[in-house]
Structure 1
């Protein structure tokens, strides 16, 4: 009888412990991925978009924007490709309400009917545009790369010094993407509206110039002083196709950047600077 009482007491104790353990276990946390939307075209609009995995495998995409105004509705889409290169619409999203700066969309498939999971979306080759209005889709108010195009936070910035054109100088910033490709942003001061400035990465250094063109950037817009280019491969040559080049390759590259006055006057340089292995440590 004593053994039976002891056994029952032990079972009761174990049950009590198990109940206590269950009471302190945190509920499972939903899988989420957050991206930061940057202001475009001096819109004053920025914020976040959060991808959340649902129990049925679908994905909820929720915007939380600041700077939108009551009475406006802002169409939004996930596009194929990256924001620097542009791409077609992959998934239409619910328009963002200007009063609240919010919208929510449940996603199970692409616009063409292809099914897509949460895991596929957060590894998607895409970007998001938020537009001014349904009648002004060409004006983007906020934008972000997503999935494999998202930035890792790793970056290197190089000075571009004044060359043949007085007053023009700036920086070239190289940012790593999740897929190993590179977003390069050239920002110059002193450029003039109406001008377009071709720019390239050349082999070698400024001191040993000229060197062969390895990569061609999107031209610098004289009105803004900005050029944005996605780099995944080197330029084609007469002998061979371009080769894949990663962020790590570029920040160790034996090269320099030339920004030219114009397509018709490549001999005159607006700005110039060494990059990668040739960059001078501060």
Structure 2
């Protein structure tokens, strides 16, 4: 009889132990992380950081921490394809930022379309990070380039001088990306409000103008005086990155309009000139 007792006791303990092991939650630990800066957009006053975390179970967690948000407002956040200057469709939908805390946390292992994505792939991703105004207002309040599009500290600025429009001048700044491409930012004061002002890199120098158009920027918004363009190739398809900008025999023109290219708002030599 004792033998049967011990046998049933053994079976009961085995079942309990087995259930305990099966029910134990997986312990997920942080293996690595990378912090990206989130910059304010259009003077929203919202900025902070996004921490990309590699987890031991091959998932990725993104923790957003920003300041300048409004209590009780939810701010949708996504990773988009391409650079911020180019814009692009949504690649990964993240948990909305809680305006009261300025925080959000999302864990995932695939893009929205089901494509697997790893921590390492995100660090080399051709994408950018965006936070929107609200669930009913898609305006961008904060953004940053990530992965291979991340901006480095290498930058060069050239003056853009007044030409045909009184008191219109500014500058163009090129910033190198991790992948060797560049972000070009034109900032003008005195540009015509409401206008759309084409801008190009031309061959040669201001002294030898006019020169052929080599590269076309995103047109300058006359009201804000701003243009942002990703620079990776000339108009003819020739690769053209940050280091090429430093040595190009060229100059920049900002024109009044597509129908009046002869009227120059601002102009300046770049590169070797």
After TM superposition, the score normalised by the length of structure 1 is 0.85
Distance between the aligned counterparts of 1:152 and 1:42, measured in 2?
22
Residue 73 in structure 1 maps to residue 74 in structure 2: yes
Distance between the aligned counterparts of 2:89 and 2:263, measured in 1?
37
What's the CA shift string for 1:13-36, capped at 9, x where partnerless? xxxxxxxxxxxxxxx984211111
1:69 is displaced (CA, Å) by 1.2
Match in the other structure for 2:193: 193
Distance between the aligned counterparts of 2:227 and 2:123, measured in 1?
27
Distance between the aligned counterparts of 1:29 and 1:39, measured in 2?
28
Task: Count residues in correspondence.
Answer: 245
Which structure 1 segments of 5+ residues have no match?
1-27, 237-241
Does the aligned pair in 1 maintain the 2:30–2:56 contact within 8 Å?
no
Match in the other structure for 1:207: 207
1:71 is displaced (CA, Å) by 0.9
SS of the residue corresponding to residue 120 of structure 1 reads: helix
Distance between the aligned counterparts of 2:193 and 2:262, measured in 1?
21
Distance between the aligned counterparts of 2:30 and 2:110, measured in 1?
24
1:49 is displaced (CA, Å) by 0.6
Does the aligned pair in 1 maintain the 2:41–2:141 contact within 8 Å?
yes
1:134 is displaced (CA, Å) by 1.1
Distance between the aligned counterparts of 2:32 and 2:152, measured in 1?
19
Distance between the aligned counterparts of 2:110 and 2:171, measured in 1?
41
* Residues 120-159 of structure 1: pairs in structure 2 closer than 5 A: 120-137=121-138, 139-159=139-159
1:56 is displaced (CA, Å) by 1.2
SS of the residue corresponding to residue 247 of structure 2 reads: coil
Please give the root-mean-square deviation of Cα atoms over the aligned residues, in Å: 1.2
Match in the other structure for 1:239: none
Does the aligned pair in 1 maintain the 2:59–2:108 contact within 8 Å?
yes
SS of the residue corresponding to residue 69 of structure 1 reads: coil
Which structure 2 segments of 5+ residues have no match?
1-28
Consecutive aligned runs of 4 or more in structure 1 exceeding 6 Å deviation: none
* Between 244-253 and 89-98, the greater mean CA deviation after superposition: 244-253
Distance between the aligned counterparts of 2:40 and 2:151, measured in 1?
16
Match in the other structure for 1:115: 116
Match in the other structure for 1:90: 91
Match in the other structure for 1:162: 162
SS of the residue corresponding to residue 188 of structure 2 reads: strand
After TM superposition, the score normalised by the length of structure 2 is 0.88
Match in the other structure for 2:246: 251
Does the aligned pair in 1 maintain the 2:253–2:267 contact within 8 Å?
yes
Does the aligned pair in 1 maintain the 2:199–2:254 contact within 8 Å?
yes
Match in the other structure for 1:14: none
Match in the other structure for 1:36: 37
SS of the residue corresponding to residue 100 of structure 2 reads: coil
What's the CA shift string for 1:122-173, capped at 9, x where partnerless? 1110001100111111x01100110000011111000001111111000000
Match in the other structure for 2:263: 268
Distance between the aligned counterparts of 1:273 and 1:132, measured in 2?
36
1:42 is displaced (CA, Å) by 2.3
